[in-house]
Every structure is written in structure tokens, then in C-alpha cells.
Amino acid sequence: MDTEQTKVWQLVDRLNDVMQHLKSTFVGKDDIIDLMGICLAGRENLFLLGPPGTAKSALVRELARLLEGKSFEYLLTRFTEPNELFGPFDIRKLREGDLVTNTEGMLPEASLIFLDELLNANSAILNSLLMVLNERIFRRGRETRHLPALMIIGASNHLPEDEALQALFDRFLIRVRCDYVDPQQLSAVLHAGWNLELPKTALHTAMDAEDIRLLQQQLANVDLQGIRPVYITLVQQLRNAGLMVSDRRAVKLQRLIAASALLSKRFTAYPSDLWVLKYIWDTEEQQEIIAGIVNTVVEADEERADNHPRSRVNSTPDADEIYKEVMALTAQWDQPETARADRSAIKDRLRYLNGRCEWISNDTQRQYVLQPIDQLWQKIMQTA
């Protein structure tokens, strides 16, 4: 192994250490964290969909701390003005007749950008944001700047309804749901959350933003030729299933496929690296359909020790497994000796399973599972 390749693998190890630290800090967020790593290495944008209180902001802040670079975070409203994101005009330059933006501490200088409630963006900032997201360029009047952003993360508790916002949403190649954690992991969540309140210490896992840029430059060295026929067929299958995979998105997704290979310490992409396509859905109803199509390709690839770990994980809900668990909860509830604390845990678990059912796109399967859930809720209400 030559010296340059050794250095690349050392950078991969460091980024994987950063991701592992995040996984140990945030319970039940492994899929989101793995996708953060992929998007960082691939220099693409990530969209988080989920309700308030699911650690979206905390995840990004901890990642920013680990990257030791400038970060920018902002909560968008319908009234957010361009100055709030990009900075005000420089008064001294304005007196001289030049329209120059003072970007100190603002979005154009950040390596990591987090835009919360992204879909509140108004027309005043929409065009500027589209150029930032797609081309990493900030343009204002005659002023044009290339941005140092490694990754931009957007978050919202709903999907876009307005056509103008659909264009903004489309600039986020990867979309992932950020839900409340499984109630069975509550103890671990409380412990991890309390540790976040403790004083921050220096971390050996921290990584300089420039190291991420060096990794991003290595994507061009990943050989995609072997998987390209499989990839083309997969894109066609997704289009036939109703997913709008534009040519632009298909081209950009190659960066994330290459990133999956790179973070697995390979300069050759495997069909298993196509797992990233499970997260390109436009609506929640598409998730299971896409996962089924992509998993067929990924699972057909022979099991290798150097496959990306996320390629072996199927995050879509299994209707049969949920049904079995609901029936077990019903049997437990019907036991006269079931303690009050246990009954409270049953209700928490049932709420979680009820939420998981929203991700079952097949109507027949969803109703098959929801029926016993509704019946158990009726029993719970009668007991209350």
C-alpha cells in the first residue's frame, strides 16, 4: 500500500471515528449518522424530516464541534430576510458605492450549515438558497463567492406542498426520517442526554474541515464502471415505479455511491453501495416501495466483509413483525397481574408501533396491522 493511499485510509478511519462518537452519543440515530458521513464525504445535502424534540439540532451541533470548523445554524420563518442568512451590506463599502456583503459569522463562511424549518423559506431568499445548495455559490448583485460549505443540512416537520418549495427540497439529494426513539431505549436516551449536559472536553476524534475536503477529492478515484449497468437499470426501475429521478439527480447520486465505497476503504464500487438510493424518496409513501426495489439489487450482491454496514440494514417496517408484537402486547395487557408500570410501558410501545405503521405503504398490510392496534387501544381506554 503506497503512502498516499495509507493517508486516505487514515482520513477514512478518522471520519468513521467521528461517526462512531455520534452513535455513542445519540441513541437510535445510527441511520441518520451514517448518512451524515456519506453526505460529508460526497459533499451533498441532507434533509431531516421529523417532529420537534427528536435531536435534529443537537446532532448537527455535535457534528460541528467534532469538525472543528465554522458552522452556521438558523431557524427560518416566513419573514426571514437575506441579511439574516448572508449578512448585511458593508456600510463602509456602501459609502464608496460598492455593494459588498459583510459575511463574518454568517452562512457564506461556514463549513457546516444547518437550516431548521427549511420549508418556511420565502421568495426573498429562495433564489439565493437554490444557488447555495446546488452550486455552492453566493451571488448578490455583482458579488460572487464560492462557498466553503462541506455539507448543508435542512430540517422540517413536513414535506413541501408549494411548487416553489419543491425546487428547494429537490436540492437535498438524501432524505431521512428523524423520529422519536423506541421507548425500549428510553433509559439509554436519558443517560446519553444527561451526558450532553456535562462540560465539553477535547476529543481525540475531532477532525479538521480541510481533511474532509481531502476525502471529497478522492471520490474521483473511485471506479464506478463495474456497477454502472446495474445502476442504470435501477434508475430505470425507480422511474417506472413513479419516482422522479432526474438526470441531474442520477449524476449526483454517483458521488454518494462513491462515498459509500470510499468509507468502506475501497476504490471500487460494489452493487451493495447502491443502498444510498433507499433515501431519495419524495414522499413518505414511496419509502417502502423504493426500499423494496433497491434491496433486491443490494441483496443480490454477494456478501463481502468490506460492504458498507448500512447496506445490510433494512429500516422499513415489517408488517408481520409489528402484528406479532401487537398481539404479544395484547396478551400481556390481558393478564390481571400486569403491574401499572408495565401497562404504562405497553402504551408507550403501542404509540411507537402505531407511528411505524405510517411507513407501511401497502394499504392492505397497514390495515392488517392497525386493526389489532385499534382494538388494544379500545381495551386501554376502557380500563382507564
Q: Could you identify the residue written with the cell 464500487?
A: 269
Task: Work out whether strand 46-49 and strand 71-75 pair parallel, antiparallel, or are unpaired.
Answer: unpaired
Residue 18: pLDDT band (50, 70, 90) is: very high
| DSSP H/E element including 12 | helix 3-25
- Asked if residue 311 lies in contact with residue 272, where contact means CB atoms within 8 angstroms, the answer is yes
**Does the model's pTM come out above 0.85?**
no
Helices (H), 136-173: 163-170
288-314 confidence digits (pLDDT tens) = 888 889 988 888 887 777 888 888 766
Whole-number Å distance between alpha carbons of 83 and 98: 16
Residue 202: its pLDDT value, please?
Answer: 57
Please list, in sequence order, all residues whose beta carbon lies within 8 angstroms of the beta carbon of residue 153, skipping any fewer than 6 positions away: 36, 45, 46, 47, 48, 60, 112, 113, 114, 115
End-to-end CA distance of the chain: 67
Mean pLDDT computed over 330-358: 77
| DSSP H/E element including 116 | strand 112-116
Angstrom CA distances, 295 to 179, 240, 283, 290, stand at 22, 16, 18, 8
Residue 343, phi then psi, degrees to nearest 5: -65, -35
54-90 confidence digits (pLDDT tens) = 888 889 989 988 888 889 999 999 999 999 999 887 7
DSSP class of 354:
H
Neighbouring CB atoms inside 10 A of 238's CB total: 21
- Asked if residue 93 lies in contact with residue 100, where contact means CB atoms within 8 angstroms, the answer is yes
168-207 confidence digits (pLDDT tens) = 999 999 999 988 877 776 677 676 777 777 666 655 567 8
Whole-number Å distance between alpha carbons of 109 and 272: 36
243-273 confidence digits (pLDDT tens) = 889 999 999 999 999 999 999 999 999 999 9
124-151 confidence digits (pLDDT tens) = 888 889 999 989 999 877 788 899 999 9
334-344 confidence digits (pLDDT tens) = 887 766 667 77
Statement: residue 315 has pLDDT above 60: no
- Asked if residue 269 lies in contact with residue 227, where contact means CB atoms within 8 angstroms, the answer is yes
- Asked if residue 18 lies in contact with residue 66, where contact means CB atoms within 8 angstroms, the answer is yes
